[in-house]
Amino acid sequence: MARDMAEPSFDDWIDQLGLREVRDPHFDKPAYLRKAPFGNLTLSVDIEKEISANLRRGWQHRKGRVQL
């Protein structure tokens, strides 16, 4: 007896995995990320800015301590 079992749809997968569609201005297609536990979602541009700022602070801190 073969049962007619339909494959889950794309929307079903998104719902089952707890994903959220986001739009990043640097990409033509939507990205799907896990829902943030506290409701905040950081896009890749924001992450890159944060990483750059932290690297800059670290570099400036080391530059001030090291005598060339």
Which domain range does residue 24 map to?
A: 10-65
10 φ/ψ sector (left φ>0, alpha ψ -120 to 50, else beta):
alpha
Residue type (1 letter), 53: A
Query: Domain for residue 4, yes or no?
Result: no
Residue 1's pLDDT is 46
DSSP H or E stretch at residue 11: helix 10-17
**Confidence check: pLDDT of 3 > 60:** no
pLDDT given at position 10: 86
pLDDT at 40: 65
- What total of structural domains would you count in the chain? 1
Q: pLDDT band at residue 68, thresholds of 50, 70 and 90?
A: very low
Instruction: Flag whether 36 is in a domain.
Output: yes
Percentage of the chain beyond pLDDT 70 is: 74
